[in-house]
């Protein structure tokens, strides 16, 4: 009966007059709505329901791949995926308007203590990132100290790094980007650039970083591993260590972060099963190959772990 009721509302919504607007506001306050799973029998019986997942765009393509496979296996399930950035994902899952909020930073860094209540952190994979430069830059290795100097505005010429003289053009990510937070936590060690420091651009995605670095002579920036294989750019080794999956897993390469999918402890029964199954699917061994294919690192192979404060310990 509830099913009939909901679809009738939806029908009115799709074809109805504007007079229905006010009423719809009330009806759909629980939107994105989930179809009732009738409670029992989620073990062997087919999963039914629809959930929403919003947030970080950095690993959205991976989640979309997972969604496609997951929906193929469970035809009565639908997962609506939207972007919006880590901030949106976290606030929406905190206020309960989506079931899963994607973030590439720990929720502790963005939310207030009272918003954190009831949130469950599901770390689904790991992203490694490293510095990239324009392909014409004749420097191949950089130390963490030098990297820090560049992004603090202290080192401004490639000659200081043993390359051909030329201005170092720093391309930054937007303030608030998860990639930037991870990079700065691992490289700057809590120091902040002086006010006078001006990057040559602040861009809002890794794809743009690649494009800009390839097009700008003498430029340097940082991206996740899966963006490093591109024309016109070159990945640097850091302290002589290659930015590879193996080096992140062993703990030698230190610039990496978890990709989180936050859920709620007190999620509505009608969707909890679907949410749980979807997260389990993301972590499953079957899906690990896709994770690697997309340039991420599965959780299972890590020999170290990080906490919200950035402390690294053996796993």
Partner 1 sequence: MANLMPKRRLENIGLGITGFCVALVALVVVTLIFMVAQQGLTTFFVDGLNPIDFFFGQNWIPEQERYGALPMIVGSFAVTLLSTAFALPIAIGSAIFVVEVAPSFGRRIFQPFIELLVGIPSVVYGVLGLYVINSLIKAIFGDAAPTGAGILSGSLVLAIMILPTITTLSMDALRAVPNQYREGSYALGCTRWQTTWHVVLKSALPSLMTAVILGMTRAFGETLAVQMVIGGVERSMPMGLLDPASTLTAALTAGLSNAVSGSVYYHALWSLGLILLAMSLIFILIIHLIGRKGAKANG
Partner 2 sequence: MASEKNGRSVALDAHVRRIDSQDKVATGVLTVIVGLVMLLVVAIIAYILVRGAGRALTPGFLTNPYNDEAVPGILYQLWDSFYMLLVTLIISVPISLGAAIFLVEYAPDNWVTSAAKTAIETLSSLPSIVVGMFGSLFFVVTLGWGISILAGACALTMFNIPILVRTIQQALEDVPRSQRDAALAMGLTRWETTINVLLPAAMPAIVTGIVLSAGRVFGEAAALIFTAGSAPARLNFASVNFLSPTNPFNIFRPACSLAVYIWRLTSEPTAGSTEIVWGTATVLLACVLLFNVLARLLGKLLSRRLTAE
Name the residues that contact partner 2, by CB under 8 A: 6-7, 10-11, 13-14, 17-18, 21, 24-25, 28-33, 35, 50, 52, 54, 57, 60, 64, 67-68, 78-84, 95, 97-98, 203-208, 210-211, 230
Residues 217-246 that bind partner 1 (CB under 8 A): 217-219
> What is the DSSP track for 120-187?
EEEEEEEEEEEEEEETT----EE-HHHHHHHHTTS--BGGGGTS-S-B-EEEEEPTT-HHHHHHHHHH
Look up tokens 């179809």; give the residue. Answer: 35
- List the one residue from 174, 229, 293, 307 that touches partner 1 (CB under 8 A): 174
Closer of 184 and 267 to partner 1 (Cβ)? 184
198 binding partner (options partner 1, partner 2, none; Cβ < 5 to 8 Å by kind): partner 1
Q: Residue 25, exposed/middle/buried by CB under 10 A (0-12, 13-18, 19+)?
A: exposed
Shortest approach of partner 1 to residue 245 CB, angstroms? 28
Q: Kindly tell me which of 72 and 285 has the beta carbon lying closer to partner 2.
A: 72
For the CB of residue 19, give the shortest distance to partner 1 in the complex, in Å: 10
Instruction: List beta partners, residue 167.
Output: 157
> Residues near 14 by Cβ (< 8 Å), separated by ≥ 6?
none
Q: Which is nearer to partner 2, 23 or 118 (CB)?
A: 23
Structure tokens at 304: 């170290």
Of the two residues 199 and 310, which places its CB atom closer to partner 1 in the complex?
199
Whole-angstrom distance, CA of residue 229 vs CA of residue 278: 30
CB nearer to partner 1: give 86 or 247: 86
Q: Any contact of residue 201 with partner 1 (CB under 8 A)?
A: yes
Q: Does 111 bind partner 1 (CB under 8 A)?
A: yes
Residue 286's SS3 state is helix
What is the rounded distance in angstroms from the CA atom of residue 14 to the CA atom of residue 12?
Answer: 5
| Residue with Cβ nearer partner 2 (28 or 144) | 28
Q: What ranges in 195-254 are assigned the alpha helix state H?
A: 206-215, 245-250
- Of 123-131, 177-185, 261-269, 283-291, the segment contacting partner 1 by CB under 8 A is 177-185
């Amino acid at each position: 009966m509830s099913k009939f009721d909901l679809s009738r509302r939806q029908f009115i919504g799709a074809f109805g007059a504007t007079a229905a607007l006010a009423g719809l506001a009330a009806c759909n306050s629980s939107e994105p709505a989930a179809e009732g799973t009738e409670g029992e029998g989620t073990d062997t019986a087919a999963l039914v329901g629809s959930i929403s997942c919003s947030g970080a765009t950095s690993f959205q393509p991976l989640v979309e791949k997972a969604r496609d496979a997951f929906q193929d296996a469970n035809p009565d399930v639908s997962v609506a995926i939207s972007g919006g950035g880590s901030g949106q994902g976290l606030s929406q899952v905190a206020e309960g308007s989506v079931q899963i909020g994607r973030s590439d930073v720990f929720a502790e860094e963005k939310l207030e203590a009272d918003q954190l209540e009831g949130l469950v952190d599901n770390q689904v994979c790991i992203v490694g990132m490293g510095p990239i430069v324009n392909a014409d830059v004749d420097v191949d290795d950089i130390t963490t100290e030098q990297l820090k100097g560049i992004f603090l505005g202290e080192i401004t010429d490639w000659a200081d790094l043993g390359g051909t003289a030329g201005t170092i053009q720093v391309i930054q990510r937007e303030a608030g980007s998860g990639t930037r937070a991870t990079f700065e936590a691992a490289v700057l060690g809590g120091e902040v650039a002086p006010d006078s420091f001006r990057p040559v651009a602040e861009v809002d995605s890794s794809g743009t970083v690649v494009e800009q670095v390839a097009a700008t002579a003498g430029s340097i920036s940082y991206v996740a591993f899966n963006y490093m294989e591109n024309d016109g750019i070159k990945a640097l080794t850091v302290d002589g260590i290659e930015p590879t999956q193996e080096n992140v897993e062993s703990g030698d390469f230190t610039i990496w972060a978890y990709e989180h999918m936050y859920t709620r402890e007190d999620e509505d029964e009608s969707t909890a099963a679907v949410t749980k199954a979807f997260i389990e699917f993301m972590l499953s061994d079957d899906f690990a190959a896709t994770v690697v294919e997309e340039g991420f690192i599965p959780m299972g192979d890590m020999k170290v772990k990080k906490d919200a404060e950035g402390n690294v310990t053996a796993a």
